[in-house]
Structure 1
Amino acid sequence: MQLILASASPARRSVLRAAGVDPVVRVSGVDEDALIAGMSRPDPARVVVELARAKADAVASEIASEHPDSVVVACDSMLAVTGPDGVTAVGKPGSVERARERWKSLSGSSAELLTGHAVVRVEHGRRVQSLEGIAGTTVRFGEPTEAELEAYLATGEPLQVAGAFTLDGRGGWFVEGVEGDPSNVVGISLPLTRKLLAAAGVDVVALWS
């Protein structure tokens, strides 16, 4: 039984490897923007689950012959920020300007990091089971000085991560605390993944290296 991680995220791979699982990495190539644009109700919780499902399905189809007995795990994360207009999904900023705006709005406040998870079990080259779930962790942000924020933005780290921050990198200096599963903030909830694997008939300890 081989675990296939349908993600290019080095942070997710590091979490799994530190927890005893060395996954095979396959990137799905799913067009996230197109998928979101086609959704009728793109609320944050639904978006992250749908994206995770699409990635898991795509990779499961690609690896069935190469890894006929495997389990595919896919994740997608967004920060759910509550404002006057309701809950807004905050993904990867992609630019220094947008990352700066997000940090200024989040500084000294809290938001919920949502990660959608999808698991696809493959047996004898055929997909036999698909499961999804979502994990949420509240993140309390600190208040970096202007100089600290500009130095952080200059590293490029916050530009390509959900919510424009990391917990396990330089962004950790500016996170006051979390309420809930910390591995979820890094990008993959180990407790939820274990439960989804168990529901698919896979004992996580059997995947340990």
Structure 2
Amino acid sequence: MQVVLASASPARLSVLEAAGITPHVVVSGVDEDAIAAALPAPEPEHVVVALAEAKAAAVLAEVTKSHPDCVVIGCDSMLHHNGELLGKPHTPEVARKRWAAMAGTTGDLLTGHAVLRVEQGRRTASATGTQSTTVRFGTPTDAELDAYIATKEPLKVAGAFTLDGLGGWFVEGIDGDPSSVIGISLPLTRRLLAEVGVTVDQLWSTT
């Protein structure tokens, strides 16, 4: 059975590959900001789940033709910090402002997951969920923050940091699931797969 990852994230791909799954990657291309803006006063968990669902659904028509028996996995991550839900900063100015607020504090990294089961070219089941992990941020020096922002890594990731990349130098610790902070929670994904009738050992690569 083929796994389809509806994400452009190399970190999510790396987590799955390290866990024995070689997914077919299809980038959804959904407008995340537009979807989030259209939600009526949602809770933070609802936002990341809605985005994950939108990504998975967006690739469904394409993959049912090429992979009639598959599971589609969509994910979206955002940082809940000081009552605000933060996605990708996109610009150095926003990344710097966020780090000024985040340094020395904690935030909750939320990752929404959507799993769709496809059998004989038809969607037959779906399951969604959210994983929350508390992140304890360090306090980078001005020079360190300048150097980090100059790499452009924090501009392209939720909350302006990574755990598995250069941003890991500025994370003091986490309370929860590390794979979720990287972008896809293996424990939650396993449970969602079970809900749609798939066990992880069915998906492990054998070559």
TM-score band by shorter chain is over 0.9
Whether 2:148 is the aligned partner of 1:152: answer: yes
**Equivalent residue for 1:33?**
33
**2:28 partner SS:** coil
**Equivalent residue for 2:88?**
92
Aligned length: 205
Whether 2:170 is the aligned partner of 1:170: answer: no
**Equivalent residue for 1:19?**
19
**2:130 partner SS:** strand
**Equivalent residue for 1:9?**
9
Which moved further from structure 2: 35-44 or 73-82? Answer: 35-44
Q: Which runs of 4+ in 1 moved over 6 A?
A: none
Alignment of structure 1 residues 1-209 onto 2, 5 Å: 1-82=1-82, 87-209=83-205
Q: Is the CA contact 1:5–1:73 (under 8 Å) kept in the aligned structure 2?
A: yes
String of CA shifts for 1:34-74, please: whole Å, max 9, x gaps. Answer: 11121111432111000001111111222101100000001
Q: Distance in 2 between matches of 1:41 and 1:117?
A: 20
The share of aligned pairs that are identical, in percent, is 63
Letter of the 1:43 partner, please give it: E
**TM-score if structure 2 supplies the norm length?**
0.97
Gaps of 5+ in 2: none
Q: Distance in 2 between matches of 1:203 and 1:44?
A: 29
Gaps of 5+ in 1: none
Letter of the 1:146 partner, please give it: D
Letter of the 1:54 partner, please give it: A
String of CA shifts for 1:55-111, please: whole Å, max 9, x gaps. Answer: 1111122210110000000100000012xxxx2100000000000010110000000
Q: Distance in 1 between matches of 2:189 and 2:180?
A: 10
Q: CA deviation at 1:185?
A: 0.3
Q: Distance in 2 between matches of 1:62 and 1:152?
A: 37
Q: Is the CA contact 1:43–1:89 (under 8 Å) kept in the aligned structure 2?
A: no
